[in-house]
Each structure stands twice: as structure tokens, then as C-alpha cells.
Amino acid sequence: MNERTDQASAAAALPEVAVEVAGLHKWYGEFHVLRDINLKVARGERIVICGPSGGGKSTLLRCINRLEDWQRGRIVVDGIELTEDPKRILAVRRDVGMVFQQFNLFPHLTVLENCILAPIWVRHMPKREAEALAMNYLARVKIPDQAGKYPARLSGGQQQRVAIARALCMNPNIMLFDEPTSALDPEMVKEVLDTMVELAADGITMLVVSHEMGFARQVADRVILMSDGQIVETNEPKKFFDNPQHERTRLFLKQILH
């Protein structure tokens, strides 16, 4: 397709390091939520971040598109260093798609309108073209027939797939997933994970906060365990699961795998 080549040519000009986090510290008041985070994500790399709740996983993810600010350290996304400058923040957000735990679809807009909103108002794409693009992505997440419905009429799994399509409509180079399956009923988890597996096969850079260990094993290039605001262990999935190096990782895996 047309937009695929656009993306490919744009990707060619992008730096090899998609996301670089260096010496990142964040406090919520007195609470030290992120402590000296250092992370380099290569272009096309798929990273799954797991760990006990309250460990700072979501906060780290939300720093990468500056939904949260931080007090010390730096983050560079696709060669753009995030500062207070609103232009840089917008440039990064245009380039980074995000999928939330609670879907956060816009309830007053139909599925199609949800998808074309940002392409029209951020990318200044003509409406017809945006609709064609949106239908293409809705077909890829296998719900093109729901395009005219309002989000409240869809199941949780369908809503989350719409949210993925909505993010993809901006042709992002990096996708952030913040516990995308935690709010779903068990029987809907698979359809969302399948969508994400297909996306991973396309070679897009992905950072996923998730406890879906099967997904991590199948898709991730690296698995990261975060606990108490720190990165405890980074490893390739096979080693991470079969031969974890850190005591904290062993404990965590034991807890979630019973």
C-alpha cells in the first residue's frame, strides 16, 4: 500500500535507536517512582515490560510520550529530545502511538470518526483519504463492519482493537501499549493479543507493559522486569523465563505462574 512505502522511506531516515532513556528519575511528591532508568530501544525492537504493580512500568511508558513529566534525566525519541518545548512534545506524540488499559475511545464519535480525527486535524489529511486509511486499518484489526457504530456498542476486545487501529492511523514509528489486555474479559484477551502479534510481525517498534507471558515469550526481543521504580532485569525471553538471573525475577515469575 501507499502508506507502507511512505512509512518505509521515513523509517530509513530514522536513527537506529528508537527510544533512549538515560538517568531518568521521577518523584510524585515525596514518592520516588522512577529511579535511574536507563534503556535503549533499537528500531524494530519489541520490548515487554512486566513487574509488580506500583513498580513504575506505566509511568515509564507515559514518560516516553510525555503524558508525564520527570525531574531528572533525559528521553530521546526518534532523535527528538523531549523538553518543555510543546513543539517537540507534539512532534514526538505524532510519531508515537499509544494504547491504553481503558481503551479511551471517544464515546461521542463513531469508530470511523475516532480513527480519522487525528489524521485530519494533526496530519491535515483530506477526509476521504483519512477514511480510506482508517478502513484499511480497521480491516487489519478485523472490524471494518463496525465502522459506523459508537464505541459503547462494541465489546471490550473490539474497543481495544479500534483503539489500536486509531493509533495506527497516525502511521506511528513506535507503539506504546499500557496493559492493553488487563481491563478485558478473559475470552477477549486473545483477539487483542493476536492483533498485537500481527503488528509485531510488521516490524514496528513496540513497548508493551503486560503480564501476558505467553505473548512476551512469542513476540518480545527483550523482557524487562521493573520493581520499585527500577529496572531489575533485562533479558531475552528464553533466558528471562527459563533461567532468570535475579532473585526478584524468580519471585515475580513464581507469583504470576503459580
Q: Is 4 in the site for another protein (CB under 8 A)?
A: no
> Reading across the β-sheet that carries 17-28, which strands appear in turn?
31-42, 17-28, 72-77, 80-81
Would the CA dihedral through 156, 161, 164, 165 be positive or negative?
negative
Q: Which is nearer to another protein, 32 or 88 (CB)?
A: 88
Output the smallest distance, CB 219 to another protein, in A.
22
Backbone angles phi, psi at 250, to 5 degrees: -60, -45
Of positions 41, 105, 219, 226, contacts another protein by CB under 8 A: 105
Residue that is written with C-alpha cell 511512505 in the block: 6
Amino acid symbol at 251: L
Q: How many Cβ atoms are within 10 Å of 67's Cβ, its own excluded?
A: 16
Among 117-125, 138-146, 195-203, 209-217, which window interacts with another protein (CB under 8 A)? 117-125
Q: Enumerate residues 141-170 that contact another protein by CB under 8 A.
A: 149-150, 152-153, 163, 166-167, 170
Query: Is 71 among the residues that bind another protein (CB under 8 A)?
Result: no
Instruction: Give the integer Cα–Cα distance in Å for 162 and 157.
Output: 9
Minimum CB distance to another protein smaller for 57 or for 166 = 166
Taking CB under 8 A as the rule, which mask of x and - marks residues 26-65 in contact with another protein? ---------------------------------------x
Q: Write out the H or E segment, with its range, that includes residue 33.
A: strand 31-42
Q: Which residues inside 75-94 make contact with another protein, applying CB under 8 A? A: 90, 93-94
Name, in order, each residue with C-beta under 8 angstroms of 55's C-beta and a sequence gap of 6 or more: 226, 227, 228, 229
What does the binding site for another protein look like in residue numbers (CB under 8 A)?
65, 67, 90, 93-94, 96-98, 100, 102, 104-108, 117-118, 121-122, 149-150, 152-153, 163, 166-167, 170
